[in-house]
Structure formats: structure tokens, C-alpha cells
Chains A and B, each alone.
Chain A
Amino acid sequence: MEIEAARMIGAGLAAIGLAGVGVGIGNVFATTIATIGRNPSIQNRVAGLMWIGFALVEAIGLFALLVAFMVLFG
């Protein structure tokens, strides 16, 4: 197999990890919305934690992007 074809396949495989990221981000926001729904007064406290959670999960997605770039251009 040519190295270029293998790179392309590797980069495509690296994108599979983004499925978990989608689930994770959906989970963070769904739980936040449910929490605010049950206890509206907690909104300010929970909002900060939600953004931290979102950024941490998004970082994992970008780690997958990093792997794809390393495979494609490394």
C-alpha cells in the first residue's frame, strides 16, 4: 500500500473517536439543562462548571484531530 493511501486511511480512522466526543458534549449540556430545570436558582453556579466540562470534552475531540494531523502530515 502506498504511504499516501495509508495516511489517508489513518486520518479517516482517527476521526472515529469524535463519536465519543459528540456523546460527551451532549451529555454535559443535557445534564446542565436538566439540573437547571430541577433547580433554577443553581444556574449561575452550574453554568461555570458547564463551560469547564465542555472545554475538557472538546479538548478530547481536538486530540483526535491532532492524531489525524500527525498521521496525515507527520
Chain B
Amino acid sequence: MLRWLYIQLIWLHPGPFRWRFGDEMLDDFDRSALRARPRYFADAVGSLARQWLLRPEFRPESMPVAADAPLETWGVPLFQTIETYKPHPAALVQGGLLAILSISLAVVLIAKAGGVARPFLIGTHFSRPGLLPVDRNSMTASDLNTTVKLGPDPFEAWLKLARPYFASMPVLRALDADRDWTLSPQEIANAPAALRKLDLNSDGKLTPEECGLHLDPNSVPPALLAQLHEHFMSYHPVLAALDADHDGQISAWEIEHAAASLKTLDRNHDGYLSADELIPFEMAVYAGLR
């Protein structure tokens, strides 16, 4: 429950920050002691306010929505619209206060209900009063016949998610020439040439539609369209990395330097981009892989 709440707090951070540091924040949370977790929540709420209110240089600028823009999004896939980008500052403050109250309430309830983890001993090198004595003379020698069974490969779960994800992303389909759901150093080096093949109108740059956004531009007001473009480009790590200046499209310069941009996704520095480095953080969380 606490972990789920913490993931929601990470999820509320701006895309570039969440994409870059979300995994590490969650890893730190997982390693923290239970008694330190209220402090982690307070820190995450503070970080949330700081990132949205004080760090505009680290997130893509959003386009203002016209006051009279209609809100209907007919024909727009739902996953493009669930994240409300750059909410009003007053809404942020109210949301922050509500989050603090909710989390405080949850922590108090858990503490009152005796949900605090109790320490228990699973092994010791030294005998202590209260431990059952072991009579070693009563042990009989036996052959080593323990069978060790290996569980399913954890990466297989990533591949199950990667197959449909790669299939739905023209950019990844173009980059992954050998269809193994992993980008090799060779494929990364060939990225500029692969990306140019997606430039259907030959204007030298890639628009979100050319990158896989299925949307009829005429069905959506221009201001909302710009926001949807930025959502799409910042949601997918591979597009967020390629769109280095976060202007919502991949320019000719960005295509030319695509290999260097893609290498920033290589978290384990093995030269390859595997599914766990390419699939969006939120998608992995909902699939139970984070």
C-alpha cells in the first residue's frame, strides 16, 4: 500500500524527471526502513511541488490551452489523455495539501492498527537466551540430494510486454532491424538512417504522427493538439530521448544525433537497449514489473 502510494507520487512528477530518476527513487524507497518512510513521503511531496513550480527548465514547455477550447477528445486514444499536463498552480497546491493529508491519515491509521513491522530473527551467528538449542550429535550425515529448480526468466515478462509495445511504435519497429525487441549497438549506430525512413513527407523532421500517434489533426483544437503531441513525445522514453529539446518533434539535427541520444537510455551501460530500458515507467508499473 505504501509502495503504491509512493509510486503515485513519483508518477505525478514531470515526465523527464520521472523518466530519469523514477526508478532510482523507487529503489531507494524499497531499501529504506519502515520508520523512515513517512519522511520519504514528505520529501516526495516537496519534490513534486519543487519540480512543477520551481524547475520549468527541466520539463518541456506546455502550450497554453485556449479558454474556449472544447474538451471533447473524440477519436483520441485514452492513454494519451489520462495525464493532465502542467495543471494550474492552485490545483497543484490543493492537490499537494490533499496528498499530505491523505498520506498522513494513511500513516496514522497503519500505525494505530499495529501495522508497523515487528522485527523477527531469521538467523544468528551467536547463541542467545531464548533460541532453541541444536543438538549437533543428533544430526546424521546424508547425501546432498537437494534439487534446485530455477523459476521463469524474469526478462520473459518484459518480453511479453515488449512485443505489443514494439509493434505499436513505428520508431521502435524501424530501429529494431532484427526484430529481437532489443536495440543492439549496431542498430543504435544506424538509428539516423532508420529514422529517416519514417519521414513520410520528406521535410527532414519527424512529427508525433510520423512517430506513431494516431490522431486526426483536424478533429482536435490546435492548443489541445499541441498538448497531446507533447504528452506523446514525453511519455515514451525512446521519443523523449530523441526529442532532445522537447519541442514535440524530432528535428533533422536530432535525427542526425539520434545514436548519442539513444545511448542516454542505456542505464546499465552494456551498449544494448533492452525492453526494461525502453518501456515507459508507468506501463511497467501497471504490468507489475516495477
Do the two chains belong together in a single complex?
no
Which positions in A face B, CB cutoff 8 Å? none
Which positions in B face A, CB cutoff 8 Å? none
